[in-house]
Amino acid sequence: MRLPENFVQEVLDRTNIEELVGRYVTLKKTGSNLVGLCPFHSEKTPSFTVSPDKKMFFCFGCHAGGSAITFVQKAENMEFVDAVAFLADRAGLPMPRESEAHAPGESVSRKRVLEANLEAAKFFRACLFDPAIGAPGMAYFREKRGLSDATIKHFGLGYAPDTIGSLTDYMHKKGFTDEELQVAFLCGKSRKTGRSYDYFRGRVMFPILDTSGNVVAFGGRVLDDSKPKYLNTSDTPAFKKSNHLFALNFARHSGAERMILCEGYMDVIAMHAAGFENAVATLGTAITPNHARIFSKYTKQVVISYDADDAGQAAAKKAMQILGEVGIDVRVLRVEGAKDPDEYIRKFGAERFSRLLDASRTGFEYQLDTILKRHDLSVGQEKIKASSELCAVIAEYSSAVEREVYLAEAAKRLELPIEALRNTTEKIRRKKYEDYRARESRDARATIKNFGDPINPEAAKDPKAAATEEAIIGMLLMFEEYRREVAAGRILLEPTDFITDFYRRVFQAILKLQNSEQGFAFAMLGQDFSPDEMGRIQKAEMARRELTQNGPQVFRSTVENLRALSEAARNKDADLQTRLENIRKSKLHKRKGQDE
């Protein structure tokens, strides 16, 4: 039984991987991730990592990894479908019947989902402006957030009544079926009764529009402290999180030379209401390379406006790196005297916030200030620590010119000779390169030595080709743009170019998902690969993420290398076959002469 992708995605969206894994492993917070002792092999030093943002786990020791589904498969010794059923039961979702397990989009089109979303947006808006129904929502928007009716109407804000089936009943009267509403993530189906129920209940609603003005999804926020705080539409035939930014439909017309990247819907709305119509936000997810490419279409500068807490700073650092990779000038806004931009604007006004924007710092200046604030430079040991951290930051920049500019600034602030910092920075860069080369060599030796590799036994025959294949798979998993280029034939890469059967199967599965109605989703690979194979696939992605050079030219060059290796292997096989055939003919000729 093959499960619909939209159902599997809903199960994953409703599964808190931190809470799930926490039932098996004692986890400790480290930055934006959690670490613990791996439950799948014996170890004394924690190498098991859980990433709540990505909803993934990975062990750097035994290379187990994947989604919550893969974790359950390994922890409970289950098949893929059984693991999905296990998680679905925890989330209160009924498993689809065999007859319902068709590919998403086969019976519900993108057009029909958009029609359903538009009708639902009208319903939520009508509920908000109905005093008998929408009073809690209006109190939140008007009184707590200080929004005018004009702003509420401009963004099409709404309210989902705290009832089981108000929206579902309304949509039925408009001619929409349960299946259409489920595919659009507007309703679910009760396990006990089989009846449909509203997906969004007792929440203020934020419709999400694409740049053509279509309502493609919704975000819903609770009015109390219950969890989850935000509920967002999962991927549908009309929507994929990484392809959209909240309020981009307005921001792209603002004419501003820069855009402001916020953490949440209300920050964006507050900024637009105050006249900053160039503000956008990601949709309940961390920024992705695809988001960065969207930004690059509309602006050359992005000001990151995230919360000042540890989580916000970690997210800002990640966003700086991802946006910088596509050539965007990244600035970081430090909001002081308020917990977020929304509160700052309400406390101090739009004019003062505008001055704050103009004073935003470059990504390096932000990291420089952050590091220097953590250390007392009057203490020698603290100054050494600060200089080491800054040199490590500067070493990440590939441009020699950028490194020189930042070294000069760091030397000035630290009151140290620039030559000393330059030497340390170059030492770090050399060490990173040597570590990378050593890791490549070590992995190659291990591959040659381990002829019994159960996942990819053919790797031992041609370790260089296997390493190249792993690099390509890693980059395909990381970047949707590369998957699209290959799927469209703009980058020539065929299954026959892969030398090992394992990575050839992975490549074919990735392309199949990319070309599906729903698009690529990592967890869906679990239907075709074992948990151990999923760990190896994720290892390919993790290995590439450790490297700073994953740009388009690197990808194209790696593909060309593989094609050259594949061609050489084919020629070698052909030469061998020719020699064997010549030997066979020679023996036959000799035998014939002896017979005569």
Tokens for 177?
């079926």
Sign of CA dihedral 52, 53, 56, 61: negative
Cβ neighbourhood burial of 206 (10 Å; 0-12, 13-18, 19+):
buried
Question: What is residue 295's predicted lDDT score, i.e. its pLDDT?
Answer: 87
Question: What is residue 99's predicted lDDT score, i.e. its pLDDT?
Answer: 47
Please determine, for residue 583, whether its predicted confidence score (pLDDT) is greater than 80. Answer: no
Residue listed under structure tokens 């919704």: 218
Residue listed under structure tokens 């998957």: 483
Residue with the larger pLDDT of the pair 380 and 159: 159
Strands 301-305 and 258-262, how do they pair? Answer: parallel
CA-CA distance, 325 to 317, in Å (whole number)? 13
Nearest Cα to 321, choosing from 397, 414, 413? Answer: 397
Cβ neighbourhood burial of 188 (10 Å; 0-12, 13-18, 19+):
buried
The answer to whether the CB of 116 falls within 8 A of the CB of 184 is yes
CA-CA distance, 94 to 87, in Å (whole number)? 10
pLDDT cut 70: percent of the chain above it: 90
Helix (H) or strand (E) holding 204: strand 203-209
Please determine, for residue 133, whether its predicted confidence score (pLDDT) is greater than 90. Answer: yes
CB burial of 216-239 (b: ≥16 within 10 Å; e: otherwise) equals bbbbbbbeeeeeeeebbbbbbbbb
CA-CA distance, 218 to 209, in Å (whole number)? 9
- Report, as an integer, the average pLDDT of 270-277: 92
**Number of CB atoms found within 10 A of residue 384's CB:** 13
CA-CA distance, 266 to 155, in Å (whole number)? 11
Question: What is residue 137's predicted lDDT score, i.e. its pLDDT?
Answer: 96
Look at the domain 457-574 and name its fold: DNAb Helicase; Chain A (1.10.860)
3-class secondary-structure state, position 59: strand
What lies within 8 Å, CB to CB, of 592 at 6+ separation is: none
Question: What is residue 81's predicted lDDT score, i.e. its pLDDT?
Answer: 87
pLDDT in tens, 478-515: 998 999 999 999 999 999 999 998 999 999 999 999 88
Q: Would you place residue 432 in the very low, low, confident or very high pLDDT band (cuts 50, 70, 90)?
A: confident
Residue with the larger pLDDT of the pair 395 and 255: 395
pLDDT cut 90: percent of the chain above it: 40
CATH superfamily of 105-239: DNA primase, catalytic core, N-terminal domain (3.90.980.10)
CA-CA distance, 319 to 276, in Å (whole number)? 21
Strand order across the 28-30 sheet: 28-30, 33-36, 48-51, 56-59, 65-66
Strands 215-222 and 203-209, how do they pair? Answer: antiparallel
Question: What is residue 303's predicted lDDT score, i.e. its pLDDT?
Answer: 93
**Number of CB atoms found within 10 A of residue 241's CB:** 19
What is the location of CATH 3.40.1360.10 in the chain? 242-362
Q: How far is CA 312 from CA 319, 349, 425, 575, in A?
A: 10, 23, 27, 59
CA angle at residue 332 from 330 to 335, to 5 degrees? Answer: 160
What is the location of CATH 3.90.980.10 in the chain? 105-239
5-100 — its CATH code? 3.90.580.10
pLDDT in tens, 142-192: 999 999 999 999 999 999 999 999 999 999 999 999 999 999 999 988 767
pTM: 0.57
E-assigned strand segments in 312-382: 329-332, 361-362
φ, ψ at 98 (rounded to 5°): -50, -40
pLDDT in tens, 66-81: 999 999 988 887 888 8
Please determine, for residue 101, whether its predicted confidence score (pLDDT) is greater than 50. Answer: no
CATH architecture classification, 242-362:
3-Layer(aba) Sandwich (3.40)
Average pLDDT score over the chain: 85
CA-CA distance, 23 to 11, in Å (whole number)? 18
CA-CA distance, 242 to 252, in Å (whole number)? 17
The long-range contacts involving 19-24, CB below 8 angstroms and separated by at least 24 positions, are 20/68, 20/71, 20/72, 20/87, 20/90, 21/50, 21/57, 21/68, 21/71, 24/75
Q: How far is CA 133 from CA 137, 222, 291, 317, in A?
A: 9, 15, 37, 42
Please determine, for residue 449, whether its predicted confidence score (pLDDT) is greater than 50. Answer: no
E-assigned strand segments in 253-298: 258-262, 279-281
The answer to whether the CB of 234 falls within 8 A of the CB of 6 is yes
Tokens for 193?
């009764």
CA-CA distance, 524 to 9, in Å (whole number)? 9
CA-CA distance, 155 to 193, in Å (whole number)? 36
